[in-house]
Amino acid sequence: MNILIIQPLVPHYRQSFFDRLCNRSDLLILFGRNDKSFKLSTQDHMKKVKSFFVAGAEFFCIYDDLKKRRPDVVITYGEVKQLSNILLFILKPFFKYKLVFWSHGFKYKKMNLIDKLRLFQLKRADGVLFYTEACRRDAEERFGVKNAFHLNNTLDFGVVLPVPEEEKEINKKKYNIRTKINGIFISRFTPLKAPELLLKLMLEIHKKNSDIGFIIVGDGPCKPDFSSYDFIYDFGRVYDEAFKAILFGMVDFSFMPNGIGLSIVEGFIHGLPMATLKNGVSGVAHGVEVLYLEKNVTGVIADSESDLVDYLSDVSTEELQRMGNNARMFALNNLSMDNMVNNFCHAVEKIKRL
């Protein structure tokens, strides 16, 4: 099948996904920008195209590639700010391709104008690929979106075995982790992650239970100074995956009050439940991947800051282990990269036959 994918940005974590798709289809990715660390195993499947902005919306110069390639299926983001989507609708009857949109779905119960325009696009596409099953169900049931499929957005990972307690304690001693129960925050520090809220909650949790500490992995423009807190262990940005695995093996839960995204998958595969706030600091403060979190099954999603503090300051290691085991099994059964690629190929094949 001849597939054309149009991406404004190609992030590094999509490398394995696109590499696997290249092995299963005739694929070309047109992109405007990409992470410097992103490189497909064969560059024949990637092409940078020119783009320009109009009032904050981006238009990609894709006509020549559409004409030359004559794809069976074109896949792009179903976003209003991607102006080239208008061109794709116009050219569709002439080039006879199926038009498919990626979509995060609709976070808000009350739709604004942008959401309504986005829904207008999705309903007129030949198919829609949603990142999670919950997003797909919501779009079908609330908005009547047809030919909707879900991918289960994920990262590439192998099987991560539980770390024996003895090894865990040896590593904690080696890296001077003095607290009994520990959470881990791993992300770049941006406003979305609400760093001030993160620090505030860590201080409140430790004040109520001095046996709880936190490992920090990450850097960024909004990073607080953790140096004066002896229960916060700041390792900065970590590039070495083997060392990162050691850090995951020393902790008991993931902690991200605001801005959950694919980091939840990284925690799950290491057997760590996620602890977060339902609404964060801005009402809807998480990516759609937070929907992988099932309350009291694969983690805790608290209604308020005080509820989160109270829960974590009193939680047992046995409870964390129970939820962590559930999180690991959920990831293994639902969030493998093979599963995401298979979901994609199944959906696109079905849409092509419509």
- pLDDT (tens digit per residue) in 82-137: 999 999 999 999 999 999 999 988 766 677 888 889 899 999 999 999 999 999 99
| Percentage of the residues of the chain whose pLDDT score is greater than 90 | 75
d(CA 112, CA 283): 15
d(CA 58, CA 8): 8
DSSP, collapsed to helix, strand or coil, labels residue 165 as helix
Q: Are 223 and 192 in contact (CB under 8 A)?
A: no
Count of C-beta atoms within a 10 Å radius of residue 27 = 22
Amino acid 150: pLDDT: 96
Give start and end residues of each alpha helix (H) in 70-219.
84-95, 113-124, 133-143, 165-174, 195-208
Range of the domain at 149: 2-154+336-352
Q: Is the pLDDT of residue 228 over 90?
A: yes
Q: At what angle do helices 241-249 and 165-174 cross, to 10 degrees?
A: 110
Same domain, 178 and 85: no
In the DSSP assignment, the letter for residue 324 is H
The CATH number of residue 76's host domain is 3.40.50.2000
Q: Which residue(s) pair with 185 in the sheet?
A: 216
Amino acid 105: pLDDT: 85
Quote the Cα angle for 3-21-337, to 5°: 140
Q: Quick one: average pLDDT of 225-244? A: 95
Within-domain flag for 160:
no
d(CA 253, CA 317): 10
Amino acid 113: pLDDT: 87
Same domain, 340 and 329: no
Same domain, 322 and 179: yes
Amino acid 160: pLDDT: 87
Same domain, 57 and 136: yes
Q: Best-predicted range by mean pLDDT among 104-118, 204-218, 283-297?
A: 204-218
Q: What pTM does this model have? A: 0.88
Question: Of 6-15, 63-72, 105-114, 318-327, which range is least confident?
Answer: 105-114
Tell me the two tokens of residue 20.
């696997």
Q: Are 222 and 281 in contact (CB under 8 A)?
A: no
Q: Are 317 and 168 in contact (CB under 8 A)?
A: no
Q: Is the pLDDT of residue 282 over 80?
A: no
Amino acid 35: pLDDT: 59
Q: Is the pLDDT of residue 200 over 60?
A: yes
Q: How many domains does the chain have?
A: 2
Residue 280: band (very low, low, confident or very high) from pLDDT cuts 50, 70, 90: low
Q: Quick one: average pLDDT of 67-87? A: 94
In the DSSP assignment, the letter for residue 76 is E
- Average pLDDT score, the chain: 92
Amino acid 71: pLDDT: 97
- pLDDT digits 0-9 by tens, 7-56: 888 887 888 899 899 889 899 999 887 656 556 555 678 888 999 998 88
Q: Are 150 and 135 in contact (CB under 8 A)?
A: yes
| Percentage of the residues of the chain whose pLDDT score is greater than 70 | 95
d(CA 348, CA 72): 10
Q: How far apart are the first and last CA of the chain?
A: 14
Same domain, 248 and 128: no
